[in-house]
Every structure is written in C-alpha cells, then in structure tokens.
Homo-oligomer: A and B are copies of this chain.
Amino acid sequence: MKNPPSLDQLIAALKVLPGVGPKSAQRMAFHLLQKDRAGADKLARALDSALLNLRHCERCNTFSEVPLCNVCADAERQQGLLCVVEMPADLLMLEQSRSYDGLYFVLMGRLSPMDGVGPQDLELEKLLARASDGQVQEVIIATNFTAEGEVTAHLIGEMLKAQGLRVTRIARGMPVGGELEHVDPGTLAQAMYERRNLA
C-alpha cells in the first residue's frame, strides 16, 4: 500500500522549497488538495509565469520582466552612483528609505563559504563591467553587516578599488530611535568608533 503516484510526486516536489522537509511537504500537499485547490492552481500558474517571464536586468542584475528594469531605465537617476546590494529585497528597502537616487547592482547573493557560495557564484564580472563603464563615479557597497555580507563587501571593494574606482560603504551605528540601553554592544562599539564631528 502506497500513496497514489501523483500525491507522492506532489509531496516530493514540495521538498524543493527551502526549509520544507518530508513532514511539512506532506502537510502542505494535504492542505492544498483538501482545503485550497484554488490556491494550488494559483501557485502552479504563478510558477509557470515567473519561470517564463522573469529574467535578470541586463544592467543591474535584479529580477525583471523586461531587459532593462524600471530603475535602470530611469534617466532621472544619478548615473554616476552605483549601489551594490545582495538581494532585490535590499534594493526595495533602500528605495523605501528615499535616501538614494543613483543606480544599483544586485549581486543575487553573498559569499558564503559554509554554503559553498564562492566568488564564481556571484556575477562579479558583470559588476566589474557595469562599474567600469566610465559613467560611474562612486560605488556604494550596501551588503549586509553580517559576517558574510562583510566578506562580500571586502572582496568587491578590493576588486573595484583596483580599477581606480571610488568605493564607499554605508555607515554602521545606532538605529534611529535606538536607546543605548537596548542596542547590542557591537553596534554601540561601532557607533562610538565611527563617531563624527557635530556640524
């Protein structure tokens, strides 16, 4: 006695999702088949559409349905500034912060030797070509301040400085509204270390 093949195949297929093991794949399959067949169909259609329509922006490497994404196609943005982020979500966060009107490069990842992600897995040549186009005056590295993000920032910084480019890193410090009592010691130490003259 076994499950019907199409049920076993669905359970197996759901395990391609990160963080989904055999037990939760089974729970998901039962949920979809019993409680949300419309949702299952919507998911199948969304997967098809995403696979069909999404590619990487030729210029900034983020996901896009067109060769040049909205930001890259916007002539109003400062063409001399290039901000390097790890993921599309980081780009969206920076846009929401309304603190930046230059262009982006999205690595689509970060160095992570533990997970087997090395320099060859990031589009470093695409970044190098983009940053060396003659228009870019400053590359702002906005990878995360995690161990992996810092290693990535270091590698990219060295690579781009070797091209004679001006390379900066977004600042570390106290969060807006942050209280000394509640911030972690590492952040507080950085805030002290990177203190600035009052204007």
How many copies altogether? 2
Instruction: Please tell me if the beta carbons of B95 and A3 are within 8 angstroms of each other in the complex.
Output: no
Looking at A16, A71, A87, A88, the one whose CB has the most chain B CB atoms below 10 A away is: A16
Interface footprint category on A: 35 or more
**The residue from B7, B18, B47 contacting A44, defined by CB atoms under 8 A apart:** B47
Q: Does A9 contact B (CB under 8 A)?
A: yes
Chain A contacts with B in 18-51, Cβ cutoff 8 A: 18-19, 24, 26-34, 36-37, 39-51
Please, which residues of chain B bring their CB within 8 A of the CB of A14?
17, 43, 46
Q: Which of A62-70, A130-138, A180-188 contacts B (4 or more CB under 8 A)?
A: A62-70
Query: Does any Cβ of B come within 8 Å of A6's Cβ?
Result: yes
CA distance A119 to B29 in the complex (A): 23
Q: Is A4 an interface residue, CB under 8 A from the partner?
A: yes
Most buried by B among A32, A46, A53: A46
Q: Say yes or no: A6 contacts B39, CB within 8 Å.
A: no
Q: Write out the residue numbers on chain B whose beta carbons fall within 8 Å of the beta carbon of A17.
A: 14, 17, 28, 31-32, 43
* Chain B residues near A37 (CB-CB < 8 A): 51
Whether the pair B54, A48 counts as a contact (CB closer than 8 A) is no
From known contacts A13-B39, A50-B40, infer whether A18 and B28 are also in contact, taking CB-CB under 8 Å.
yes
Query: Given the complex, which residues of B lie within 8 Å of A48, measured CB to CB?
Result: 41, 44
Can you list 29 contacts pairing A with B, beta carbon distance less than 8 Å?
A1-B92, A2-B92, A3-B88, A4-B54, A6-B49, A7-B54, A7-B63, A7-B88, A9-B49, A10-B46, A10-B47, A10-B50, A12-B46, A13-B46, A13-B47, A14-B43, A16-B32, A17-B31, A17-B32, A18-B27, A26-B89, A29-B50, A30-B88, A30-B108, A33-B50, A33-B54, A33-B63, A34-B108, A34-B109
| 10 further A-B pairs in the complex, CB-CB below 8 A; given A7-B54, A16-B42, A44-B51 | A1-B91, A3-B92, A6-B54, A10-B50, A13-B46, A19-B28, A26-B89, A29-B50, A32-B50, A33-B63
